[in-house]
Amino acid sequence: MEKSIENIWKEGFEAETKLSAPAIANFYDKKSKLITQKINKRTKKDNLSLLPVALIISAILVFMGEFFLAIYNAVLIVALFFANKKMLRDLNSINIQDNTYYYLLNYKKQVKKIIKSSTLIAGLGFPMVIIPAYWVFFQDTKVMIKLQEMDSILAMMLVAGLALFFSIVAISGYKLSNKMMYGNLLERLESTIEDMEELMKD
């Protein structure tokens, strides 16, 4: 995004004729004009943290002698990093268009899209990652032998149950961490939009 948040706010407010100068000044003083900038920085750091996580987990797996799982883990986490990077690039490329109000609406829409996609990845991706990993990790162990000795339908039900359990855990964990890291900023974003709507009604 070529323009800084500072310029976006300045140009947006100047373009919106329905907002009076005193109201703009009061709003500008009360509300943080750097909400989106803070969200951008935090999401970038959050995504970058995936790389050392991938390195640490892979190193532990290599130390345990699980070379295939180490590569499997690294590829999946790095793929997630690039997927997130693309979504964040789309977030940062939103244009101001007519004014700051519409910019914030588009920004909010894109944030919700990212949250929805990330929830889907957490809910579907985590079981798809962890179950094959467990399958490889427990290969030729008593756990796997007992599973193979079970009735096929019962074994499928067990795997489906585990997948559902991992999905619920992943989604719950994602929602909790998302609320802790971004809850306050997203509330401020929503509040800013609502305040601007009230000002434009006057």
**pLDDT, tens digit (0-9, with 9 covering 90-100), for 141-176:** 676 777 777 777 777 787 788 888 888 888 888 888
Read off the pTM.
0.69
Q: How far is CA 136 from CA 7, 133, 144, in A?
A: 53, 5, 9
Q: Are 188 and 31 in contact, with CB atoms under 8 Å apart?
A: yes
pLDDT band per the 50, 70, 90 thresholds, residue 25 = very low
Half-sphere exposure in the Cβ direction for 164 (13 Å, CA) = 6
**Could you tell me what percent of the chain has a pLDDT over 70?**
74
Vertex 53: Cα angle to 49 and 57 (nearest 5): 175
Q: CA 143 to CA 6: how far, in whole Å? A: 58
Q: Name the residue ranges covered by the structural domains of the chain.
A: 5-201
